A and B are shown apart, each in its own frame.
Chain A
Amino acid sequence: MKKSPDPPKTFHRFFRWYCNPDLRNSIEGDLIELYHERVREEGKKQADRKFVKDVLLLFRPGIIKSIELQQYSLNTDMYKNYFATAWRNLNKKKVYASINIAGLALGIGCALLIFSLITHHLDFDNFHADSDRIYRFVTEEHRDQIDYDGSVPPVFGKAFREDYTFGEKVARLCTIDEQLIAVGEGSDIRKFSEEIAFAEPEFFSIFNFPLASGNADKVLSGANTAIITERIAKKYFGDEPALGKTFRFENRIDFTISGVLKDIPENTDFRSEIYFSYSTINQYSEWYASDDAWGGISSSIQTFVRLQPGVNPQEVEKVLPDYVKKYRAKSKNVHHYKLQAISDVHFNARYGGKMDKSTLWVLAAIGLLLVFTACLNFINLATAQAITRAKEVGVRKVLGSARAQLFWQFTIETGVIVLLASAIAFSGAYLILPNLNTFFDTRISLDLFLNTRLLLFLALLILLVTLLSGAYPGIILSRFKPVAALKGRLQGQQGGSFNIRRGLIIVQFTISQILLIGLIIMMQQMKYFSNTNMGFAHDATVMIPTGSNDEKLKTLKDQFLALPDVENVSLCFAAPASDDMWTTSLLFDNRSESETFSISFKGADENYLSTFDLELVAGRNFTASDTAREFLVNEKTITKLGLSSAEEILGRQLSANGGSLNGPVVGVIKDFHDRSFQSDIQPLFITTSLEHYNALAVKIKMNNISNTLAALEKNWSAAYPELIYSYSFLDDQIASFYQKEQRMITMVQVFSCIALLIGCIGLYGLVSFLAVQKTKEIGIRKVLGSSVTQILTIFGKEFSYLLLIAFIIAAPITWLLMSNWLSGYTYRIDIDLWIYALELGIISAIVLFTVGYQSLKAAIVNPVESLKSE
């Protein structure tokens, strides 16, 4: 007989899938018989068509198998039994259970914390009415490169409000950190250092910071009025009503409290708790208040607008260049004013956003990976342990359990474990949260009952993890053939495919190796930062803020110099490398236009060079003066100006800061790093200017530090009894440049440890599984003369392969990721091969340690023990 054609496969399978098993065979027979007959009589095409039609018409109740769940009654006793069995099993295998729960708890805990962190950041400043219409004015400064500034000239807001109707409300806010507030009178004065803000009344109509008491319409309208939060009110005045009370700001301006704000919520970047009326700002800084303050930008002053409904921000940006033309005619169109949506403020690092969105996504990815590895782990361990449940499955099947029933039984068991793990994870997360908050400088709370989103996430996570990790072991276990299971004939093969398990281990180890390699590279880069010479001396240097800019300060400097353990003292604007930057434009010699680059200005006295060990390459140090008379520049300035040698600039005139600083260049200093290694060395000049000194840089001898520090404080406080003393070491300030990196490293450290730990748990599971599976093989090998070492090699080979494959996958991925990360730094390390070698060494050691114990145990078993039972 010629081989006759087969009916269409897809539909044939579909039929087999849906058909009630009682009817399946006979109907299938009918269909096939009919099909063959039709092929003979009407041809294959027609037969196929009719077969499909028959299959589709058979898809009807009565023929379709009933869903298995309905075949047994929903019996609560059965479920009770499931839970009881689950509980007994956990109790019986405590080590296995605790390893499992620990792995899952780690994954879930990390996921919870990461979720809270991410939602916390995504919620920033989203509680203001019509927040889609709120924008901040920002500036792009186009010179030879583009700089981004989160603010606009001080008078901009006022001009925009008067000139255009685009804005429903326009508000200026001037935020200043670490300001002195004095409360009380006479001998009962208490001093506080606070962040304060001058705010226009419109600020509180744009942003949703409600008043607890006081008249909302009149808030901050009068000069010398202030509003404070309830928290500050309590801190300053205790239980007395704060309304109408007065306090003194920076020892010179008095404010009367006209309102009390409700406490500021956590999810906002407006952290000031003391607001002064903007009409008072002229008493603080005349330039801030001036009506022609178009010359520069202070990052303190931010300008916000809520646009009229229907106004397009691009429309507004189109009219803004007019201001540059009108008020900044001489400055070559450097300023480009833009609108930045309020939702972007928190995330845009260019404009000083606190949290990069990409960091959040990286975190989310890591969280997901951790949960995923934890699930993989669970699968690994559960399937490895499946053999031990074979008898139970056999008995249950004999007593009439359906596959679906067994499947759900094991899924419920997984559910119980996941639930336990979640409880532990939540408590753990709750305990760790305060550390996390300090670490990220956040104020996140974990309250399941107030935060429905978190509750929902946790529920979803539990469900997902249960299904993800419970489904596969459930399928494996419910597949056991009862006869074989009861006879004890099940061997490892039935515990799920070994290759799947290998795959899982490879995935886990790829993840942990990626993290580990990344970690090593990051740590190398940080080491490079701290070991590379910045070009100036920064050890044993104490930075103390100045209290005044007058003769008193100079006297204090002399007093410091007279102290026995003080080597040198310099009055300066800031240390050579600092986050406090003052950049300005430069007019060189008799050139008619200002230079296209911006230059950094560092005010300092004649001791600056000696205090910081700065090296002169040409000329001399400037002579002592209280105002700008002579200039020093760095080598970078020479190149930027297009001069061929350092000597060439000596004696030529500089004019900077809009013409307020003028004088000849007397010396050139060797380039030093004036900011973190993330940025290039900028052109800069140094000149004497008493009014611009913000700090006393004190170089001390390292013996007897505490006495020296105490003496410094005593002298300072004697000079400025009305102010608060503070100091910091320059080394700490420099370390804080890399706070972001340091955070990232700590984070990756923690996560790679967790990933490794979870990976090792999985490995442990696999090796125990392997040991059980190979018991007999090892026994026979030993009888035939294998040594313990030879048997250990069997295990060693297996895991070396897995490790190597994971490494081969991880290496290129990390290379791509980390080259990308490193490219953000101007000064960076190369990714060397030895980093990979080191990583491979570390991970091999860890694997050896994890695998060693179990495989040794298997290798030294007396073959009599392993072979006597069959």
Chain B
Amino acid sequence: MKKYQLGEFEEVVMLTVGILYNDAYGVSIKKEIEERLKRSVSVGALQTALKRLEDKGYLKSHEGETTAERAGRPKKYFTITAYGKKAVAYTKQTRDELWSAIPKMAWNTKVISI
């Protein structure tokens, strides 16, 4: 089923937007990911992902307040749509299914082989 397809980074972004709840906009999402996952995120990669997710209907956005810090440019807040929630849930479910399908042996073998 190809219905809900999320890339790895897209999934991370979706989840972070969820974590930040009402405070998810470009800079906060970027910082949150960088802090939690200890990886650097470029503005370009993040914005492309956000746009793609919005186009797919997983996220929706609204313009928020402007601050002097942003030279009068509004913040664009993202929230997860119901459809988006389904997509994340679906992704989690498929992962779990895959996890549980791995036989115990595989783990052991892997450990031994190391």
Interface residues of A (CB under 8 A from B): 1, 23, 25-34, 36-37, 53-54, 57-60, 62-63
Contacts and interface: CB of A to CB of B under 8 A. Distances in A.
A846 to B, nearest CB: 55
Given A34-B27, A63-B51, A29 B75 contact: yes
A26 B75 contact: yes
Given A57-B43, A60-B44, A29 B52 contact: no
Contacts of A23: 47, 51
Contact of A29 (B42, B48, B71): B71
B51 A62 contact: yes
B47 A63 contact: yes
A31 B76 CA distance: 12
7 contacts: A25-B76, A26-B75, A27-B43, A29-B71, A30-B30, A36-B69, A58-B44
A210 B42 CA distance: 75
B74 interface: yes
Contacts of B30: 30, 34
Interface of B: 25-27, 30, 42-45, 47-48, 51-52, 63, 66-71, 73-76
Contacts, number: 70
Contacts of A31: 43
A25 B73 contact: yes
Q: Which 6 residue pairs spanning A and B have beta carbons closest together?
A: A29-B73, A26-B76, A57-B44, A30-B26, A29-B70, A58-B44
Contacts of A53: 42
B32 to A, nearest CB: 14
A758 B52 CA distance: 56
Contacts of B68: 1
B25 A26 contact: yes
Contact of A57 (B25, B42, B70): B42
B28 to A, nearest CB: 9
Nearest to B44: A57
Given A33-B70, A34-B27, A36-B69, A58 B75 contact: no
A689 to B, nearest CB: 97
Contacts of A28: 71, 73
Chain B binding surface SS class: helix
A26 B43 contact: no
Contacts of B75: 26, 29-30
A32 B71 CA distance: 7
A495 B51 CA distance: 39
Given A26-B26, A63-B51, A58 B63 contact: no
B82 to A, nearest CB: 23
B43 A62 contact: no
A532 B27 CA distance: 90
Contact of A30 (B25, B45, B51): B25
A159 B45 CA distance: 84
B47 A27 contact: yes
A53 B40 CA distance: 13
Contacts of B76: 25-26, 29
Contact of B27 (A1, A33, A60, A63): A33
A58 B75 CA distance: 18
Nearest to B55: A62
A375 B15 CA distance: 60
A23 B27 CA distance: 14
B42 A54 contact: yes
Contact of A32 (B44, B51, B70): B70
Given A26-B63, A26-B74, A33 B69 contact: yes
B45 A57 contact: yes
Contacts of B51: 23, 62-63
- The interface centre, meaning the residue of A30, A58, A59 with most chain B CB atoms within 10 A of its CB, is A30
Contacts of B27: 30, 33-34, 37
Contacts of A26: 25-26, 63, 73-76
Nearest to B43: A54
B43 A34 contact: yes
Nearest to B49: A62
Contacts of B63: 26
Given A30-B30, A57-B42, 7 more contacts: A26-B25, A26-B75, A27-B43, A30-B26, A33-B69, A36-B69, A58-B47
A866 to B, nearest CB: 44
Nearest to A24: B73
A62 B48 contact: yes
A25 B74 contact: yes
Q: Which of B48, B52, B68, B74 gathers most chain A CB within 10 Å?
A: B48
B43 A30 contact: yes
A72 B99 CA distance: 48
A29 B45 contact: no
A37 B34 CA distance: 15
Nearest to A27: B47
Contacts of B74: 25-26, 29
A802 B106 CA distance: 91
B48 A32 contact: no
B106 to A, nearest CB: 38
Contacts of A62: 47-48, 51-52
A32 B69 CA distance: 7
A176 B48 CA distance: 83
Nearest to A20: B51
Contacts of B66: 29
Contacts of A34: 27, 30, 43
A674 B74 CA distance: 90
A54 B48 CA distance: 12
Contacts of A63: 44, 47-48, 51
Contacts of B48: 60, 62-63
A54 B44 contact: yes
A34 B48 CA distance: 17
Contacts of B73: 25-26, 28-29, 32
A25 B66 CA distance: 11
Nearest to A31: B43
Contacts of A25: 73-74, 76
Nearest to B26: A30
A775 B38 CA distance: 70
